[in-house]
């Protein structure tokens, strides 16, 4: 009886909100390592591109989307018209709609404040970590706290790194050329590979990667939009073709 009681207490402790919060942060740590230089370089580029300290920090605090922040800084420094800036960042961030749609079954029972907080913090890294936790069929409660732990760790890290970059950017303006930005592509590759489990996914990734290289020279970062649209289109068409092929069989 004592052993059963101790096992039950350990199980309760393991699935408590605090334990889940900590577990989410711990499991996000490997991705944090890749995000650190990315955040520092953003702050550095923002400082050297002419953005004010408040504007750069405001982007990290209120936007909290690394890819779109980098693109915005690049386009603003190039003197791009604001409608093109808005359109480009909108297309780049369309993937978050897919993240949100995937999370709907897990968020639907949560309160509105919970949904708002978790949706705001649904970055690429947090999505990759949290979705694996939600898919585990262990019936443990408080998985939203696991999601929150991952989000808070990423959010605090991103803003601290932005602050470091803004400070270092003024002290070491050449830091952007140190090659620290290699870490983020490596991190994204590590996040994507485990999900390449079907032909449509492979078609989407290969198409997007190929088009991004071929269209890399287009002005105003249009190559990113073209690659994103091409990748999504390839995935949808591939899935439709395979579905029709299976139906014929």
**Could you read off the pLDDT of 125-175 as tens digits, one per residue?**
899 899 988 888 777 778 999 999 999 999 999 999 999 988 876 666 666
Answer for the pair 56, 169: CB distance below 8 angstroms, yes or no: no
Q: Cβ(74)–Cβ(221) under 8 Å?
A: yes
Q: Is the pLDDT of residue 37 over 60?
A: yes
For the segment 104-122, the average pLDDT, to the nearest whole number, is: 93
Q: How far is CA 232 from CA 65, 98, 207, in A?
A: 20, 11, 9
- DSSP secondary structure, 211-231, as one string: HHHHTTTSGGGHHHHHHHHHH
Structure token digits, residue 207: 């198409």
Higher pLDDT: 91 or 69? It is 69
Non-local CB neighbours of 81 within 8 Å, separated by 6+ positions: none
Domain regions of the chain by residue span: 2-190, 196-249
Q: Which residue, among 22, 28, 216, has the nearest Cα to 130 in the 3D structure? A: 28
pLDDT-derived band at 6 (thresholds 50, 70, 90) equals: very low
Greater confidence (193 vs 54) lies with 54
Asked whether residue 206 carries a pLDDT value surpassing 80, the answer given is: yes
Question: 188 pLDDT exceeds 90?
Answer: no
247 confidence band (pLDDT: 50, 70, 90): low
- Mean pLDDT, residues 216-227 taken together: 77
Q: What is the mean pLDDT of residues 43-69?
A: 87
Across 58-62, 83-87, 97-101, 137-141, the highest mean pLDDT is recorded for: 58-62
For residue 99, pLDDT over 80 is answered with yes
- The pLDDT assigned to 185 comes to 66
pLDDT range class, residue 221, cuts 50, 70, 90: low
What sign does the CA torsion over 182, 185, 188, 193 have? negative
- Above 80 in pLDDT, residue 191? no
pLDDT of 14 > 80? The answer is no
> Which of these, 37, 35, 44, 48, lies nearest to 168 by C-alpha position?
44
**Alpha carbon 225 to chain centroid distance?**
17
pLDDT at position 199 over 80: yes
Min mean pLDDT across 163-172, 176-185, 202-211 is at 176-185
Averaged over 232-240, what is the pLDDT?
Answer: 83
The HSE-up count of residue 28 (CA atoms within 13 Å, CB side) is 32
Name residues whose C-beta falls within 8 Å of residue 113's C-beta, 6 or more positions apart in sequence: none
User: pTM here?
Assistant: 0.74
| pLDDT for res 7 | 41
pLDDT value at 5 more than 50: no
Q: Which range has the worst mean pLDDT, 51-60, 143-152, 201-210?
A: 201-210
Residue 22 has pLDDT above 90, yes or no: yes
């Amino acid at each position: 009886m004592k052993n059963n009681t101790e096992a039950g207490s350990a199980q309760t402790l393991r699935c408590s909100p605090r334990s889940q919060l900590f577990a989410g942060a711990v499991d996000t740590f490997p991705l944090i390592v890749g995000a650190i230089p990315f955040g520092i370089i953003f702050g550095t580029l923002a400082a050297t591109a002419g953005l004010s300290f408040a504007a750069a920090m405001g982007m990290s605090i209120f936007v909290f989307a690394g890819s779109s922040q980098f693109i915005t800084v690049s386009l603003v420094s190039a003197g791009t018209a604001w409608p093109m800036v808005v359109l480009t960042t909108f297309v780049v961030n369309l993937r978050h709609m897919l993240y949100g749609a995937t999370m709907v079954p897990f968020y639907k029972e949560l309160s509105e404040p919970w949904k708002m907080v978790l949706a705001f913090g649904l970055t690429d890294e947090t999505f990759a970590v949290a979705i694996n936790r939600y898919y585990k069929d262990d019936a443990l409660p408080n998985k939203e706290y696991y999601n929150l732990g991952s989000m808070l760790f990423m959010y605090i890290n991103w803003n601290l790194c932005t602050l470091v970059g803004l400070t270092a950017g003024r002290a070491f303006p050449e830091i952007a050329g140190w090659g620290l930005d290699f870490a983020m592509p490596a991190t994204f590759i590590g996040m994507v590979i485990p999900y390449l489990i079907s032909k449509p996914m492979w078609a989407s990734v290969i198409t997007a990667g190929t088009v991004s290289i071929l269209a890399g020279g287009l002005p105003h970062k249009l190559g990113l939009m073209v690659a994103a649209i091409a990748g999504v289109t390839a995935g949808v068409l591939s899935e439709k073709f395979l579905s029709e092929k299976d139906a014929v069989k």
